[in-house]
Structure 1
Amino acid sequence: MKDHIVVLSGAGVSAESGLSTFRDSGGLWENYSVFDVATPEAFRRDPALVLRFYNDRRCQLAEVEPNAAHRALAELEKDFRVTIVTQNVDDLHERAGSSKVVHLHGELTQARSSRLDDLIYPIGYKPIELGDTCELGSQLRPHVVWFGEQVPMLEAAAGVVASADHLLVVGTSLQVYPAAGLVDFADPDVPITVIDPGEPARVNRATVIRKKASEGVSEWVARLRGQGR
């Protein structure tokens, strides 16, 4: 059986495609505080503002393309089993061709009921407006995990990491929990590589490549595919 490559990806991967990130903009997304647009309380207080914010994110997503890092990870499937566990809510991994993607924080191209979390609808890049409701009559909301909410895919992601033969961490500082704790589920003998141009949190036994995602991932994937032949 082919080795299982597990990738933990974060905002740094999507940033190179032109998507704005929260942490790289002074704690703001497009001049909005996280407390105004990314909490359940914000949605109850001003749903129109929250919907408009995510509608803008969805519009922006429709205009950008996967970058070299996304494409290299998709190419890796030619030689290995690959599962991507991403903190990103965009669909750039899928658009690049990756077939197994676990979204920890939900998906921007989906909407869900504000009453029942399991009622999820594909919407692509269309806006969600006030008055758009689920089949139960409740207002639709973005299918994203807001600050203060549970991360429903965390257990599944931990199981994926536990099955890894190689673990690649890219585009994430490994400083935001609970997602940062996923590396602890890797088997002690599994090699870990961290690709980040900054100062990621220290990970025991990890090899750190201080490059941007597009450059570092492309090089790492080429080397790994060469070894796998």
Structure 2
Amino acid sequence: MKKLVVLTGAGISAESGIKTFRESDGLWEGHNVMDVATPEGWRKNRELVLDFYNQRRKQLHTVQPNIGHQILAELEHYFEVHIITQNVDNLHEQAGSTNVLHLHGELFKVRSVKDKNYILDWKTDLISGDLDPNGFQLRPHIVWFGEDVPALEEALVLTQQADYFAVIGTSLQVYPAAGLVEYTPPNIPIYYIDPNPGTMQNVRNKVEIISLKASEGVPILKDRLLNLM
């Protein structure tokens, strides 16, 4: 099977009702992102950060994948599909995608503040006093601003192996994720689905821009890809 690699961003989840801070003047659900999505914010007010992600986790229990997520899952019948997502929700998995790499972490997981490899599934509230076996606090398994992106190396390898590459629902403003497209093999088809697409720099390949939201553009992507088979 040919390998389809897809980079997804907040736009595809927004259609399921999940808000992104970039839509509201730097605020994420009413909070300054520096207060809830940085190591400094965590050190300053742990209770605020824990409550913020508890609320995001509860919200995730109330939303469903949309047609964009569903069609990407269906494409596994025809291609070896790998989703590289900037989103921390699990909507790709809910839709049935089996190869999902989360660049920025996952809401339904927590990890030790001391041991980054101690990771647990977690679907309820996380509170101060929830500890790892060595007595260290558990924190949201989220890559905050200023932190390394552990999954980036794997994402680069996948991108370099792609036969087809698609970018869906992202403005390509958040690095290092935005730079992945620069590592695609020469001459492979690239598709960019977003109602307000950003600029792709240093990309050698021809890019087909589909200026639509994910629910409208992903069905077109499916047709394009199936016509290449």
**DSSP 3-state at the match of 2:61:** helix
Q: Quick check: 195-204 or 7-16, which moved more? A: 195-204
**DSSP 3-state at the match of 1:85:** strand
1:135 to partner: Cα distance? 1.1
1:1-229 equivalences in 2 (<5 Å):
2-123=1-122, 125-203=123-201, 204=203, 205-228=206-229
**DSSP 3-state at the match of 1:110:** strand
- 2 CA distance for matches of 1:158 and 1:69? 23
8 A contact 1:8–1:170 mirrored in 2: yes
Distance 1:130 1:91, change over 3 A: same
Structure 1 segments (4+ residues) deviating >4 Å: none
- CA distances 1:7-28 after superposition (whole Å, capped 9, x unpaired): 0000001000000101111111
* 2:109 partner letter: Q
1:78 to partner: Cα distance? 0.5
**DSSP 3-state at the match of 1:63:** coil
1:227 to partner: Cα distance? 4.0
**DSSP 3-state at the match of 1:69:** helix
**DSSP 3-state at the match of 2:7:** strand
* 2:48 partner letter: L
- 2 CA distance for matches of 1:212 and 1:83? 20
- 1 CA distance for matches of 2:178 and 2:197? 14
- 2 CA distance for matches of 1:52 and 1:61? 14
Instruction: Using structure 1 for the length normalisation, give the TM-score.
Output: 0.96
1:199 to partner: Cα distance? 3.3
Gaps of 5+ in 2: none
8 A contact 2:10–2:169 mirrored in 1: yes
8 A contact 2:68–2:214 mirrored in 1: yes
* 1:221 partner letter: K
8 A contact 2:170–2:197 mirrored in 1: no
- 2 CA distance for matches of 1:192 and 1:227? 13
- CA distances 1:84-107 after superposition (whole Å, capped 9, x unpaired): 000001000000000000110111
- 2 CA distance for matches of 1:9 and 1:210? 15
**DSSP 3-state at the match of 1:193:** strand
- 2 CA distance for matches of 1:201 and 1:34? 24
Gaps of 5+ in 1: none
8 A contact 1:76–1:225 mirrored in 2: no
8 A contact 1:85–1:157 mirrored in 2: yes
8 A contact 1:195–1:210 mirrored in 2: yes
8 A contact 1:8–1:169 mirrored in 2: yes
- 2 CA distance for matches of 1:156 and 1:94? 19
Q: Quick check: 77-86 or 214-223, which moved more? A: 214-223
1:188 to partner: Cα distance? 1.2
1:222 to partner: Cα distance? 3.1
**DSSP 3-state at the match of 1:217:** helix
Distance 1:206 1:223, change over 3 A: closer
Identity between Structure 1 and Structure 2 (%): 53
